[in-house]
Amino acid sequence: MTVAQQGVVRVAESGNGLYSQIVSAGGHTLSADEPEEFGGQGVGPSPYEFLLAGLGACTAMRLRSYVTRHNWGVDKIIIELRHEKIAGADSSATVDKFCRVICLRGDISEAQRSKLLEIAESCAVSLTLRRVSIVESSMTIT
């Protein structure tokens, strides 16, 4: 597996702290870490913050595409997100809850606002998070 492969993300320990990671994705290099209160050094977003960033970016891009195509007067899109674990229906398991607040700057009607909320709900990452997923793992020793 090489980083140059389309769609491949590579995560490797940085060697700078217990949890610090170097993330290579699409020709970009980022840092990931746990916050200090969880034993990390806080030198990058946590794994859940990366997940939230993906959801927020996907939402903003989908909305921007839609408002541009329809020539709606939206000057700025900001997405604020948080993640929490809540008790499931039977109280024995937890469920992940992703809270997304969409902040728009511009002049749009109530009908347009409702449509944009619908569009946000259908962004690819939202749909992925709502589905059951398969995570397949394998291992190599070098």
The whole-model pTM stands at: 0.90
Nearest by Cα to 106 from 141, 53, 67, 79: 67
pLDDT (tens, 9 = 90+) of the chain, 142 residues, equals 444 577 899 999 999 999 999 999 999 999 999 999 999 999 999 999 999 999 999 999 999 999 999 999 999 999 999 999 998 887 778 899 999 999 999 999 999 999 999 999 999 999 999 998 999 999 999 9
Q: What is the DSSP letter of 96?
A: E
What is the separation of C-alpha 14 from the centre of its chain, rounded to a whole number of angstroms? 22
Residues 6 or more apart in contact with residue 111 via CB below 8 angstroms: none
Domains of the chain plus CATH, in order, are 1-45 (no CATH), 47-130 (3.30.300.20)
Question: 55: exposed, middle or buried (C-beta count within 10 Å: 0-12, 13-18, 19+)?
Answer: buried
